[in-house]
Amino acid sequence: MARTIRFHELGGPEVLRIEELPVRSPDAGEVRIRVDAIGLNRAEVNFRRGTYLEQPVLPAGLGSECAGEVLEVGPGVERWAPGDAVSVVPAFSQNDYPVYAEEAVVPASALVARPPGMDAITGAAIWMPYVTVYGMVCETVRVRPGDHVVITAASNSIGLAAIQVVRHLGAVPIATTPAAAQRRALLDGGAEAVIVTGEDDLVAAIRDATGGRGAALVLDAEGGPQVEQLVRACADDATVIVHGGLSGQPTPLPAGNYAAVWLRRFHVVAITGDPGALRRAEHFVRAGLATGGFTPTVDRVFDFDDVAAAHAYVDSPDRAPGKPVLRVSSR
């Protein structure tokens, strides 16, 4: 038996319950892991509310990013063995393989080895942000040295990772945030310029930050009507990649006079669901960690029993920059 977090109805953080449930043995291609830390994302908040890309099958578990230790491997699994320290990357449905639990069964293909000396808290916070950014700037498009890259909602874990990766590739990161209080943290984190949405004219501010040329690439976590403004702030032949829906609003197809711009959508499963792409991403992230170019930012660490408070914090507009993590309290 293992303590497992589930919900039996859609709603706010109060619907989350901790239950004692049996843990099955892994089938072919699967592993059973002890979960030591869980990375928290708005995807789980939206899944709990019923506003995510997939609908929960009630009663539902949740979560797709964690770190721990392999306990048991299923038939045909050769790369992993009991005792291996691993992280789990989002490569599956939360309905099929939820990880908000003391133990979880997950596909072996969703595991990456934790670098030596990396603790579980960091291991639960690193892979999704950096793999997502890798997929956008190295596989979907190729960022070139000197490119101006606009990163929206830049204080979340993907945004902070994007600033570091863009710098690592020799390009120029321009961050946007709705909170003026986060300006200094983003500048300290490597942003060349910070634009406060709601205070600054977004198009004019991007044009000014790029010396009038416009952005070569936009990594947009928000979607919604703002996409049209981002398109208007782009250089000719630029790309706008929408990889999130934090605005909660439909994303219209921009209309009117603007430069010839490519508009694309991206989800991390494009990388984590492709074994070859995931290995390339893993190599890229490990290299950045080894040189010190990539430094994951952990925001707050919550105990397992405080999952409702953790979800409320993840959804708060006042949260600090970085990745919140849930620590399995019995470890």
For residue 169, pLDDT beyond 90: yes
Q: Report the first-to-last Cα separation within the chain, whole angstroms.
A: 15
The model's pLDDT over 244-297, given as tens digits with 9 standing for 90+, comes to: 888 778 888 777 667 789 999 999 999 999 999 999 999 999 999 999 999 999
Query: Mean of the per-residue pLDDT values for the chain?
Result: 95
For residue 46, pLDDT beyond 60: yes
The pTM score is 0.94
For residue 62, pLDDT beyond 80: yes
What integer is the mean pLDDT of 17-22? Answer: 98
Domain ranges of the chain: 2-126+295-327, 145-265
pLDDT of residue 83: 98
pLDDT of residue 153: 94
Backbone angles phi, psi at 226, to 5 degrees: -60, -20
Question: In terms of Cα–Cα distance, which of 240, 258, 13, 268 is closest to 128?
Answer: 268
pLDDT of residue 257: 64
For residue 20, pLDDT beyond 80: yes
Is the CATH number of domain 2-126+295-327 3.10.20.740? Answer: no
- The CATH number of domain 145-265, selected from 3.40.250.10, 1.10.3720.10, 3.40.50.720, 3.90.110.10: 3.40.50.720
Judge contact between 261 and 234, C-beta under 8 A.
Answer: yes
Q: 181 CB contacts (<8 Å, ≥6 apart)?
A: none
What integer is the mean pLDDT of 151-173? Answer: 97
Domains 2-126+295-327 and 145-265 belong to one CATH topology: no
pLDDT above 70 coverage of the chain, percent: 98
Question: In terms of Cα–Cα distance, which of 266, 238, 263, 233 is closest to 147?
Answer: 238
> What H or E segment, with its residue span, contains residue 321?
none
Measured distance CA(266)–CA(123) in Å, rounded: 23
For residue 330, pLDDT beyond 70: no
pLDDT of residue 52: 87
Measured distance CA(134)–CA(294) in Å, rounded: 12
For residue 86, pLDDT beyond 90: yes
**27 against 257, higher pLDDT:** 27
What integer is the mean pLDDT of 2-28? Answer: 98
What would the two tokens of residue 185 be?
């943290």
Q: Provide the pairing of β-strand 215-220 with 193-196.
A: unpaired
For residue 331, pLDDT beyond 60: no
Look up tokens 């994951």; give the residue.
Answer: 296
What integer is the mean pLDDT of 13-27? Answer: 98
Measured distance CA(126)–CA(118) in Å, rounded: 10
pLDDT of residue 310: 98
Cis peptide before 59 (omega within 30 of 0): yes
What integer is the mean pLDDT of 42-64? Answer: 94
pLDDT of residue 154: 96
What would the two tokens of residue 146 be?
């000197």
Q: 269 CB contacts (<8 Å, ≥6 apart)?
A: 90, 91
pLDDT of residue 248: 76
Lowest mean pLDDT among 3-7, 245-249, 303-307: 245-249
pLDDT of residue 329: 61
- Where does the pLDDT of residue 111 fall: very low under 50, low under 70, confident under 90, or very high at 90 and above? very high
